[in-house]
Chain A
Amino acid sequence: MGGPVIELQAVSKTYGDTAALTDVSWSVDPGQIVALLGPNGAGKTTAIALMAGIRRPSTGFVRIFGVDPRDRSVRARRAVMLQDCETIDFLSVREAVALFRSYYPRGMTVNDALEHAGLAQLAERRADGLSHGNKQRLFFAQAIVSDPELLFLDEPTVGMDVESRRALHDYVRGLRAAGRTVLLTTHDLAEADELADRVLLVARGRVVQDASPAQLKRSARSAGSWIRFRPTASAPINVIRGVPGVLETRTEGDQLALLVDNPGEVVARLVGLQVPLTDLVVEGPSLEDAFVAMTHEDGA
């Protein structure tokens, strides 16, 4: 009691010559909702596989509730929603959830799990005939029916419609109130921001930031914004490039893209120079830009 729920120490994982995770360490206390955030291929799913006891770390160690992730006592207290999984054939949605309920010593009623996952209307449908988004809901119902102390969710809302996604978010927030621990992976900054107390930003198999969503957004903001418009012959590019505040210029088709720190100031200066800003678009910092900025800082 009282120790961290999840503990990774100096964990690396290689598949053949490919390094999926390199020397990562983190520990998660009870009651935290943690998002592993990163682009595809960053090592998030590998991290889930290691914590769920599906894969063995190449070096370092993983402990869940202080013991090996494959221990049966661990498996009874935590549940996993995997990403690349299939539903069981020939069973109804209700039967599939009831089956998972039977594996665990404790949990909620099957009806409650169906209700929380938004599957009450689809309970009698065949599980293997569901749409991708509804299959995701089913995996979620199978994972929460044991009312686990610790829940792993690998890209839980991919393929879900807005409504299911909101319902899942509401449920996860409810788990925080109940003192449960949740670790989810996502490549969506908004999702991490909405749910997590803490974000582990992962890129190329390393943790490049361990911060609250607010801190992360501040870092992302420092990555700059993009101004895009269609230039005309009357505005030479070298003039535009020389405008104070323009960090970088890029030609994208017939559009010109400017990387700037403060879009308002730069637009004002361009207007002052009488540059026609046809089809002007200003974009805030994208997650991708944040990754680039932060992984760059990390490497520097």
Chain B
Amino acid sequence: MNAFGAQTVMEVRRIARNTRFLIFTLLTPLVYYIFFVLAFGDRTSAQGISGKAFFLVSMAAFGVIGTALVSFAGRIAAERQRGWFRLLRTTPLPTSAIFGAKLVAAVLASIGVVVVLGLAGMVVNGSGLLTADRWLALLLVLVLGSLPFAALALVIGYFVEAEVAYSASLGVYFLLAMIGGLFLPLEFMPDAIQKVAVVTPGYLYAKIGWDLIAGRTAEIWPQAAGLCAYFLAFALIGAIGLRRDEGQTYR
């Protein structure tokens, strides 16, 4: 197998064997989803969709953000500290393959999270919740939309000390999920918080999913543009961190 393929398989294995990761990014949203559906499933949210559909998107988004953000950030920081990157840089493996493999593995894991939540949704709601093409669109949007969070993970991984990077990313994760209305829908929040919430990446991300399910396909573009802006900003800062780290190492 070539180096990139092997590196990707390795990263996928590391995710699949990491129970802490599986609990946090797969089991937690799944349990929350079942709980939310039992509690609020029959209400209609301000997004104009049923509670069942609303929380399906929320919790899938919650799971995917966790995949992209928490596991990525903690891992980069830990590998930096453990001397793993330094050892890899002595091999012919290019830096692009190190990060490319991580990204492909994160995307595959995200697909896994959405599929599991989707299956749970079908079990709870019956398969009539969404049409096949909407399922596919939702999957695509949730996976692509995770990129800004992966880039944010790069920022945390390169600017926060290894000992606290995991906790820091966990803190940012829950903050983004809270203020983005993934747990408590925005309409229940005070006005002042709502005004801030609508521009946070967690909200922009889930909003695309809610609009998609409600059939408001034309309305997703402002949020998509917002996510792109976040992605560019985080990727730029992350790249500065990576360059700075290489400069610090090779000097």
Known: A95-B13, A98-B6. A86 touches B92 (CB 8 A): no
**Any chain B CB within 8 A of the CB of A82?**
yes
List the B side residues contacting A122 at CB < 8 Å: none
Tally of B interface residues using CB under 8 Å: 25
Interface string of A91-121 (1 = CB under 8 A from B): 1000100111011110000000000000000
**Any chain B CB within 8 A of the CB of A296?**
no
Interface residue from A75, A90, A95, A105 paired with B90 (Cβ < 8 Å):
A75
Interface residue from A84, A91, A98 paired with B83 (Cβ < 8 Å):
A84
Contact A82 B14 (CB under 8 A): no
Q: How far is the CA of A105 from the CA of B13 in the complex (A)?
A: 23
Contact B6 A54 (CB under 8 A): no
Contact A53 B7 (CB under 8 A): no
Q: How far is the CA of A80 from the CA of B86 in the complex (A)?
A: 11
Q: How far is the CA of A105 from the CA of B90 in the complex (A)?
A: 15
Contact B251 A54 (CB under 8 A): no
List the A side residues contacting B90 at CB < 8 Å: 52-54, 75, 79-80, 82
List the B side residues contacting A91 at CB < 8 Å: 10, 13-14
Q: How far is the CA of A103 from the CA of B92 in the complex (A)?
A: 6
Known: A54-B249, A75-B91, A91-B10. A103 touches B86 (CB 8 A): no
List the A side residues contacting B93 at CB < 8 Å: 103
| Minimum C-beta distance from B155 to chain A (A) | 23
**Any chain B CB within 8 A of the CB of A56?**
yes
| Minimum C-beta distance from B216 to chain A (A) | 42
Q: How far is the CA of A72 from the CA of B92 in the complex (A)?
A: 6
List the A side residues contacting B249 at CB < 8 Å: 54-55
Interface residue from B6, B84, B91, B251 paired with A86 (Cβ < 8 Å):
B84
Q: How far is the CA of A97 from the CA of B86 in the complex (A)?
A: 17
| Minimum C-beta distance from A96 to chain B (A) | 9
Contact A85 B1 (CB under 8 A): no
Scan residues 1-43 of chain B and give those whose CB is less than 8 A from a CB of chain A: 1-3, 5-7, 10, 13-14, 17-18
Interface residue from A72, A76, A85, A90 paired with B86 (Cβ < 8 Å):
A85
Contact A85 B84 (CB under 8 A): yes
**Any chain B CB within 8 A of the CB of A88?**
yes
List the A side residues contacting B86 at CB < 8 Å: 54, 82, 85
Q: How far is the CA of A84 from the CA of B83 in the complex (A)?
A: 7
Contact A99 B250 (CB under 8 A): no
Contact B83 A86 (CB under 8 A): yes
Question: Which of B6, B13, B90 is most buried by chain A, counting CB atoms within 10 A of its CB?
Answer: B90
Contact B6 A90 (CB under 8 A): no
Q: Which partner residue on chain B sits nearest A100 by CB separation?
A: B91
Q: How far is the CA of A89 from the CA of B17 in the complex (A)?
A: 10
List the B side residues contacting A95 at CB < 8 Å: 10, 13
| Minimum C-beta distance from B12 to chain A (A) | 10
Q: How far is the CA of A115 from the CA of B1 in the complex (A)?
A: 21
**Any chain A CB within 8 A of the CB of B195?**
no
Residues of A bordering B, CB below 8 Å: 52-56, 70, 72, 75-76, 79-80, 82, 84-86, 88-91, 95, 98-100, 102-105
Q: Which 10 A-B residue pairs are closest in the complex by CB-CB distance?
A: A102-B6, A86-B82, A90-B14, A80-B90, A90-B17, A85-B83, A76-B92, A75-B92, A103-B91, A103-B93
A-B contact pairs, 15 of them (CB 8 A): A53-B90, A56-B251, A72-B92, A75-B91, A79-B91, A84-B83, A85-B82, A85-B86, A86-B82, A90-B18, A91-B10, A91-B13, A95-B13, A103-B3, A103-B91
Residues of B bordering A, CB below 8 Å: 1-3, 5-7, 10, 13-14, 17-18, 82-84, 86-87, 89-94, 249-251
